[in-house]
């Protein structure tokens, strides 16, 4: 098996850091911070040019912006325009840009923002237009802010039919479109929401994270406020796969780029604590699509680790042996070169980690 270096981008509350490995991923070199002082909310890579990146940022004084890099993250340039609601329609027009999603081909990009809104850019973030079918959805008055914000995130696009996509509202549930965003339907069948009446409410769920299997794009996994779920039909139906995990609560979720049944999750104690269950920082791995789970935590701290892994702070790379990476709210970054078989500490004492992204220089997978 050929070896090649991996570049991991780490987005924190105070800027972006680059971690570059040697070819066997044994040693890592840290550089940064880039865009120092900015919260790095999300990082995506262009499907057309592997060196082209976009990040969404937030700053308590200077606001939410998008930066672009054309050299794998060594240099960054702020873009002029941001996705935001038309002034007067929602207040504020823009609080944060939570999520970016590139179209599978070309230069199109979607952005999910707070207050809940979905926007599309046909030109790699230079101009933006609202996706009115979701932003003005007739159920919008039934959405409500979650503790972390009131945002659209986890935008997933079917590469085989790019008119088909899902977007997640916290808290409003997952919505699904089959016509390129013109119309949207709630896609929460089979999903619990203990904050709402009824066993399986139609919408209103607090969605924490939705990931898509690159090798089988109709396979989605979904971590909710109550439970972990799987869909085999791009969100039409969901079934719970929480059994075997120490908690039904969590944020971080990632899937193997080569096997849709291999999924990784970090369980957290419930909404009151929001930290690793029992102070043990554990990753659970399933190789049967959530039918069973095993702790895959060798090398991770197993006592007094009361940290959290945020929703965009775990990812896989595109290597055949499936590297997995995550960062914690305590500023520690862990990596496994072998699908969570063994973990190593790659960096420590960084600011709170908000997101990670393993750059895919082959353009064949890895999630973000």
Partner 1 sequence: MNEPANMVTVHLPLALREFVGGQERITVAGGTVRQALGELAREHPLAGARILGPEGNLRRHVNVFLGEINVRDRQGLESRIETGDEIFIIPAVAGG
The site for partner 1 (CB under 8 A) is made up of 37, 59-63, 65, 78, 80, 82, 84-85, 87-88, 92-94
Contact (CB, 8 A) for 262 and 285? yes
Question: Minimum CB separation from partner 1 for residue 123, in Å?
Answer: 16
In terms of Cβ atoms closer than 10 Å to its own Cβ (0-12, 13-18, 19+), residue 84 is: buried
Question: Minimum CB separation from partner 1 for residue 92, in Å?
Answer: 7
- Which residues have CB under 8 Å from 240's CB, separation 6+? 190, 191, 192, 227, 228, 229
Please say which residue, 126 or 342, places its beta carbon nearer to partner 1.
Answer: 126
Please say which residue, 62 or 200, places its beta carbon nearer to partner 1.
Answer: 62
Please say which residue, 82 or 226, places its beta carbon nearer to partner 1.
Answer: 82
Question: Minimum CB separation from partner 1 for residue 91, in Å?
Answer: 8
Between the alpha carbon of residue 66 and those of residues 41, 148, 294, the distances in Å are 10, 20, 38
Question: Minimum CB separation from partner 1 for residue 85, in Å?
Answer: 8
Please say which residue, 34 or 238, places its beta carbon nearer to partner 1.
Answer: 34
Please say which residue, 90 or 326, places its beta carbon nearer to partner 1.
Answer: 90
Contact (CB, 8 A) for 358 and 8? yes
Please say which residue, 41 or 281, places its beta carbon nearer to partner 1.
Answer: 41
For residues 109 and 114, give the distance between their C-alpha atoms in angstroms, rounded to a whole number: 17
The label of the residue with tokens 């929602």 reads 90
* C-alpha closest to that of 343 among 311, 308, 302: 302
Question: Minimum CB separation from partner 1 for residue 256, in Å?
Answer: 39
Please say which residue, 74 or 364, places its beta carbon nearer to partner 1.
Answer: 74
Please say which residue, 88 or 198, places its beta carbon nearer to partner 1.
Answer: 88
Question: Minimum CB separation from partner 1 for residue 262, in Å?
Answer: 42
Question: Minimum CB separation from partner 1 for residue 352, in Å?
Answer: 16
Contact (CB, 8 A) for 328 and 308? yes
Go through 47-67 and write b for each residue having 16 or more CB atoms within 10 A of its CB, e for each that does not.
Answer: beeeebbbbbbbeeeeebbbb
Please say which residue, 92 or 244, places its beta carbon nearer to partner 1.
Answer: 92
- Which residues have CB under 8 Å from 344's CB, separation 6+? 299, 334, 335, 336
Question: Minimum CB separation from partner 1 for residue 65, in Å?
Answer: 7
Question: Minimum CB separation from partner 1 for residue 300, in Å?
Answer: 34
For residues 151 and 280, give the distance between their C-alpha atoms in angstroms, rounded to a whole number: 30
């Amino acid at each position: 098996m050929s070896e090649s270096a991996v570049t991991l981008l780490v987005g924190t509350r105070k800027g972006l850091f680059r971690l570059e490995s040697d070819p066997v991923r044994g040693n890592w070199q840290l550089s940064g911070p880039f865009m120092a002082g900015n919260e790095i909310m999300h990082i995506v890579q262009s499907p057309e040019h592997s060196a082209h990146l976009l990040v969404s940022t937030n700053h308590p004084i200077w606001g939410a912006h998008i930066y672009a890099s054309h050299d794998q993250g060594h240099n960054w340039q702020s873009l002029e325009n941001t996705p935001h609601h038309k002034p007067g329609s929602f207040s504020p027009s823009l609080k944060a840009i939570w999520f970016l999603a590139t179209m599978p081909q070309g230069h199109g990009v979607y952005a999910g923002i707070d207050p809940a809104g979905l926007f599309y850019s046909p030109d790699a973030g230079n101009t933006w237009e609202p996706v009115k079918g979701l932003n003005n959805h007739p159920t919008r008055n039934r959405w409500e802010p979650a503790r972390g914000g009131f945002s659209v995130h986890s935008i997933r696009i079917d590469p085989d039919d790019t008119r088909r996509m899902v977007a997640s509202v916290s808290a409003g549930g997952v919505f699904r479109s089959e016509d390129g965003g013109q119309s949207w339907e709630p896609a929460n069948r089979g999903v619990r929401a203990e904050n709402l009446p009824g066993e399986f409410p139609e919408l209103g769920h607090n969605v924490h994270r939705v990931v898509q299997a690159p090798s089988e794009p109709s396979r989605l996994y979904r971590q909710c406020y109550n439970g972990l779920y799987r869909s085999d039909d791009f969100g039409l139906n969901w079934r719970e796969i929480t059994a075997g995990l120490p908690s039904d609560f969590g944020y971080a979720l990632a899937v193997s780029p080569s096997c849709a049944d291999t999924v990784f999750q970090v369980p957290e104690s419930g909404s009151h604590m929001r930290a690793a269950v029992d102070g043990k920082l554990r990753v659970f791995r399933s190789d049967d699509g959530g039918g069973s789970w095993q702790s895959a935590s060798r090398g991770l701290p197993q006592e007094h680790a009361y940290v959290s892994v945020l929703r965009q702070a775990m990812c896989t790379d595109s290597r055949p042996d499936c590297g997995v990476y995550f960062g914690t709210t305590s500023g520690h970054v862990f990596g496994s070169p072998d699908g969570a078989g063994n973990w190593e500490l790659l960096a420590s004492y960084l600011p709170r980690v908000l997101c990670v992204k393993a750059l895919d220089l082959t353009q064949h997978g890895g999630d973000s």
